[in-house]
A = this chain, B = another copy of it.
Protein backbone atom coordinates (compact mmCIF):
# COMPACT_ATOMS: atom_id res chain seq x y z
CA UNK A 1 0.00 0.00 0.00
CA UNK A 2 2.86 2.39 0.78
CA UNK A 3 4.59 1.52 -2.49
CA UNK A 4 1.28 1.90 -4.29
CA UNK A 5 0.70 5.28 -2.72
CA UNK A 6 4.17 6.47 -3.70
CA UNK A 7 3.66 5.12 -7.17
CA UNK A 8 0.31 6.91 -7.41
CA UNK A 9 1.81 10.15 -6.15
CA UNK A 10 4.41 9.91 -8.87
CA UNK A 11 1.67 9.52 -11.47
CA UNK A 12 2.98 6.07 -12.27
CA UNK A 13 -0.08 3.93 -11.51
CA UNK A 14 -2.06 2.03 -14.11
CA UNK A 15 -4.95 4.47 -13.60
CA UNK A 16 -2.84 7.64 -13.55
CA UNK A 17 -4.72 10.44 -15.27
CA UNK A 18 -8.08 8.67 -14.92
CA UNK A 19 -11.02 10.03 -12.97
CA UNK A 20 -13.16 7.39 -11.27
CA UNK A 21 -16.41 8.10 -9.42
CA UNK A 22 -17.23 5.78 -6.51
CA UNK A 23 -20.47 5.85 -4.53
CA UNK A 24 -20.61 4.14 -1.16
CA UNK A 25 -22.59 3.62 2.03
CA UNK A 26 -26.29 3.73 2.82
CA UNK A 27 -28.65 6.62 2.34
CA UNK A 28 -30.95 7.89 5.09
CA UNK A 29 -34.46 8.94 4.10
CA UNK A 30 -36.12 11.22 6.68
CA UNK A 31 -39.56 10.39 8.08
CA UNK A 32 -39.58 13.43 10.38
CA UNK A 33 -36.89 15.45 12.22
CA UNK A 34 -35.84 12.45 14.34
CA UNK A 35 -36.80 9.30 12.40
CA UNK A 36 -35.49 7.92 9.13
CA UNK A 37 -35.30 4.82 6.99
CA UNK A 38 -31.83 3.29 6.79
CA UNK A 39 -30.15 0.15 5.54
CA UNK A 40 -27.40 -2.05 6.91
CA UNK A 41 -24.68 -1.03 4.44
CA UNK A 42 -21.50 -0.10 6.34
CA UNK A 43 -19.75 1.46 3.34
CA UNK A 44 -16.82 -0.95 3.85
CA UNK A 45 -16.78 -2.37 0.31
CA UNK A 46 -17.13 1.00 -1.42
CA UNK A 47 -14.44 2.49 0.81
CA UNK A 48 -12.06 -0.35 -0.02
CA UNK A 49 -12.73 0.09 -3.74
CA UNK A 50 -12.03 3.81 -3.59
CA UNK A 51 -8.73 3.11 -1.81
CA UNK A 52 -7.73 0.43 -4.34
CA UNK A 53 -8.46 2.75 -7.29
CA UNK A 54 -6.46 5.51 -5.60
CA UNK A 55 -3.59 3.07 -5.13
CA UNK A 56 -3.56 2.48 -8.91
CA UNK A 57 -3.18 6.20 -9.46
CA UNK A 58 -6.75 7.22 -10.24
CA UNK A 59 -8.23 10.53 -9.15
CA UNK A 60 -11.22 9.32 -7.14
CA UNK A 61 -14.40 11.24 -6.34
CA UNK A 62 -15.99 9.41 -3.41
CA UNK A 63 -19.68 10.19 -2.90
CA UNK A 64 -20.63 8.63 0.41
CA UNK A 65 -23.79 8.31 2.45
CA UNK A 66 -23.69 8.11 6.28
CA UNK A 67 -21.32 5.12 6.46
CA UNK A 68 -20.01 3.49 9.62
CA UNK A 69 -16.41 3.38 8.34
CA UNK A 70 -14.39 6.54 7.63
CA UNK A 71 -13.63 7.53 4.03
CA UNK A 72 -10.16 6.67 2.74
CA UNK A 73 -7.49 9.35 2.66
CA UNK A 74 -6.36 10.71 -0.68
CA UNK A 75 -9.76 10.82 -2.39
CA UNK A 76 -12.19 13.72 -2.96
CA UNK A 77 -14.98 13.07 -0.44
CA UNK A 78 -18.53 14.31 -1.02
CA UNK A 79 -20.71 13.42 1.98
CA UNK A 80 -24.47 13.17 1.43
CA UNK A 81 -27.50 11.97 3.40
CA UNK A 82 -30.39 11.15 1.12
CA UNK A 83 -30.64 9.41 -2.25
CA UNK A 84 -31.65 12.72 -3.86
CA UNK A 85 -28.50 14.36 -2.48
CA UNK A 86 -26.42 11.44 -3.78
CA UNK A 87 -27.97 11.76 -7.25
CA UNK A 88 -27.09 15.45 -7.36
CA UNK A 89 -23.53 14.82 -6.15
CA UNK A 90 -23.04 12.12 -8.79
CA UNK A 91 -24.23 14.45 -11.56
CA UNK A 92 -21.85 17.13 -10.31
CA UNK A 93 -18.92 14.66 -10.28
CA UNK A 94 -19.19 13.76 -13.98
CA UNK A 95 -17.49 13.41 -16.39
CA UNK A 96 -15.55 10.37 -15.24
CA UNK A 97 -13.70 7.59 -17.03
CA UNK A 98 -15.40 4.98 -14.88
CA UNK A 99 -18.12 4.91 -12.24
CA UNK A 100 -18.41 2.29 -9.50
CA UNK A 101 -21.83 2.57 -7.90
CA UNK A 102 -21.39 0.66 -4.64
CA UNK A 103 -23.80 2.68 -2.49
CA UNK A 104 -26.92 1.00 -1.12
CA UNK A 105 -29.32 3.70 -2.30
CA UNK A 106 -32.85 3.72 -0.91
CA UNK A 107 -35.39 2.87 -3.60
CA UNK A 108 -38.00 5.03 -1.93
CA UNK A 109 -38.16 8.20 0.09
CA UNK A 110 -40.97 9.53 2.25
CA UNK A 111 -42.93 11.92 0.04
CA UNK A 112 -44.35 13.82 3.00
CA UNK A 113 -41.70 13.92 5.76
CA UNK A 114 -42.94 15.65 8.90
CA UNK A 115 -41.47 19.01 9.83
CA UNK A 116 -42.32 18.22 13.46
CA UNK A 117 -41.92 14.91 15.27
CA UNK A 118 -44.93 12.74 14.46
CA UNK A 119 -47.01 11.94 17.53
CA UNK A 120 -49.17 9.02 18.45
CA UNK A 121 -52.65 10.53 18.38
CA UNK A 122 -54.39 7.91 20.51
CA UNK A 123 -56.16 6.45 17.51
CA UNK A 124 -53.85 3.42 17.38
CA UNK A 125 -53.39 4.29 13.72
CA UNK A 126 -49.85 4.89 12.54
CA UNK A 127 -49.11 8.11 10.67
CA UNK A 128 -49.75 7.81 6.96
CA UNK A 129 -46.43 7.60 5.15
CA UNK A 130 -46.56 8.32 1.44
CA UNK A 131 -43.64 6.87 -0.46
CA UNK A 132 -42.11 8.26 -3.63
CA UNK A 133 -39.64 6.37 -5.81
CA UNK A 134 -36.12 7.80 -5.76
CA UNK A 135 -34.24 8.54 -8.96
CA UNK A 136 -32.40 5.45 -10.23
CA UNK A 137 -28.83 6.75 -10.03
CA UNK A 138 -27.22 3.71 -11.67
CA UNK A 139 -29.59 3.84 -14.66
CA UNK A 140 -29.21 7.60 -14.93
CA UNK A 141 -25.41 7.32 -15.12
CA UNK A 142 -25.56 4.32 -17.47
CA UNK A 143 -27.96 5.97 -19.92
CA UNK A 144 -27.05 9.62 -19.42
CA UNK A 145 -24.48 11.98 -20.88
CA UNK A 146 -21.58 12.22 -20.42
CA UNK A 147 -21.51 8.45 -19.89
CA UNK A 148 -18.40 7.00 -18.25
CA UNK A 149 -16.73 4.44 -20.51
CA UNK A 150 -17.23 1.84 -17.81
CA UNK A 151 -20.17 1.77 -15.40
CA UNK A 152 -20.13 -0.83 -12.62
CA UNK A 153 -23.24 -1.47 -10.57
CA UNK A 154 -23.84 -3.58 -7.49
CA UNK A 155 -26.66 -5.95 -6.72
CA UNK A 156 -27.30 -6.81 -3.11
CA UNK A 157 -29.63 -9.78 -3.22
CA UNK A 158 -31.03 -12.25 -0.74
CA UNK A 159 -32.20 -14.88 -3.25
CA UNK A 160 -31.64 -15.90 -6.91
CA UNK A 161 -28.52 -13.73 -6.87
CA UNK A 162 -27.17 -14.33 -10.40
CA UNK A 163 -30.60 -14.34 -12.00
CA UNK A 164 -31.63 -11.08 -10.38
CA UNK A 165 -28.28 -9.41 -11.03
CA UNK A 166 -28.16 -10.47 -14.69
CA UNK A 167 -31.59 -8.94 -15.22
CA UNK A 168 -30.51 -5.83 -13.34
CA UNK A 169 -27.50 -5.31 -15.62
CA UNK A 170 -29.74 -5.21 -18.69
CA UNK A 171 -32.42 -3.11 -17.02
CA UNK A 172 -29.98 -0.47 -15.81
CA UNK A 173 -27.74 -0.38 -18.87
CA UNK A 174 -24.50 -0.69 -16.91
CA UNK A 175 -21.49 -2.68 -18.12
CA UNK A 176 -20.76 -4.83 -15.09
CA UNK A 177 -22.66 -5.85 -12.01
CA UNK A 178 -20.94 -7.08 -8.86
CA UNK A 179 -23.57 -9.23 -7.24
CA UNK A 180 -23.55 -10.51 -3.70
CA UNK A 181 -25.78 -12.32 -1.25
CA UNK A 182 -26.61 -10.09 1.69
CA UNK A 183 -28.79 -12.57 3.54
CA UNK A 184 -28.12 -12.02 7.26
CA UNK A 185 -26.71 -15.55 7.64
CA UNK A 186 -23.84 -14.74 5.22
CA UNK A 187 -22.50 -12.02 7.54
CA UNK A 188 -21.49 -10.00 4.45
CA UNK A 189 -23.46 -6.81 5.04
CA UNK A 190 -21.51 -5.05 7.78
CA UNK A 191 -18.84 -7.77 7.77
CA UNK A 192 -15.20 -7.87 6.61
CA UNK A 193 -15.57 -10.42 3.81
CA UNK A 194 -17.48 -10.56 0.58
CA UNK A 195 -18.41 -13.27 -1.92
CA UNK A 196 -19.25 -11.63 -5.23
CA UNK A 197 -20.10 -12.69 -8.74
CA UNK A 198 -18.98 -10.42 -11.58
CA UNK A 199 -21.61 -10.26 -14.29
CA UNK A 200 -20.85 -8.77 -17.68
CA UNK A 201 -22.06 -9.26 -21.25
CA UNK A 202 -20.31 -12.63 -21.34
CA UNK A 203 -21.95 -14.14 -18.28
CA UNK A 204 -21.34 -14.65 -14.60
CA UNK A 205 -17.91 -15.18 -12.98
CA UNK A 206 -18.09 -16.18 -9.33
CA UNK A 207 -15.16 -14.95 -7.24
CA UNK A 208 -14.08 -16.90 -4.16
CA UNK A 209 -15.04 -15.48 -0.78
CA UNK A 210 -12.29 -13.10 0.29
CA UNK A 211 -11.73 -9.92 2.28
CA UNK A 212 -13.42 -6.78 1.04
CA UNK A 213 -9.95 -5.26 0.48
CA UNK A 214 -9.04 -8.18 -1.79
CA UNK A 215 -12.30 -7.84 -3.73
CA UNK A 216 -11.51 -4.15 -4.14
CA UNK A 217 -7.97 -4.75 -5.45
CA UNK A 218 -9.20 -7.37 -7.92
CA UNK A 219 -11.95 -5.06 -9.16
CA UNK A 220 -9.53 -2.14 -9.49
CA UNK A 221 -7.18 -4.23 -11.65
CA UNK A 222 -10.11 -5.26 -13.82
CA UNK A 223 -11.11 -1.64 -14.23
CA UNK A 224 -7.54 -0.72 -15.17
CA UNK A 225 -7.60 -3.48 -17.80
CA UNK A 226 -10.90 -2.22 -19.20
CA UNK A 227 -9.69 1.37 -19.47
CA UNK A 228 -6.25 0.47 -20.87
Contacts and interface: CB of A to CB of B under 8 A. Distances in A.
A157 B33 CA distance: 10
Instruction: Provide the main secondary structure of the chain A interface.
Output: loop
A104 to B, nearest CB: 7
A124 to B, nearest CB: 6
A189 B189 CA distance: 27
B157 A117 contact: yes
Contact of A35 (B39, B164, B183): B39
A131 B182 CA distance: 25
Contacts of A182: 33-34, 117
Interface string A2-32: 0000000000000000000000000010010
Which of A31, A33, A124, A184 has the most chain B CB atoms closer than 10 A to its own CB? A33
Interface string A86-129: 00000000000000000010111000000011011000101001
A218 interface: no
B34 A37 contact: no
A116 B38 contact: no
Contacts of A36: 37-40
A218 to B, nearest CB: 24
A145 interface: no
Contact of A126 (B117, B131, B184): B131
Contacts of A107: 120, 126
Interface string A37-67: 1111100000000000000000000000000
A219 interface: no
Nearest to A40: B34
A226 to B, nearest CB: 28
Contact of A117 (B108, B116, B158): B158
A91 to B, nearest CB: 21
A117 B124 CA distance: 28
6 contacts: A28-B38, A33-B158, A33-B184, A108-B126, A117-B156, A117-B159
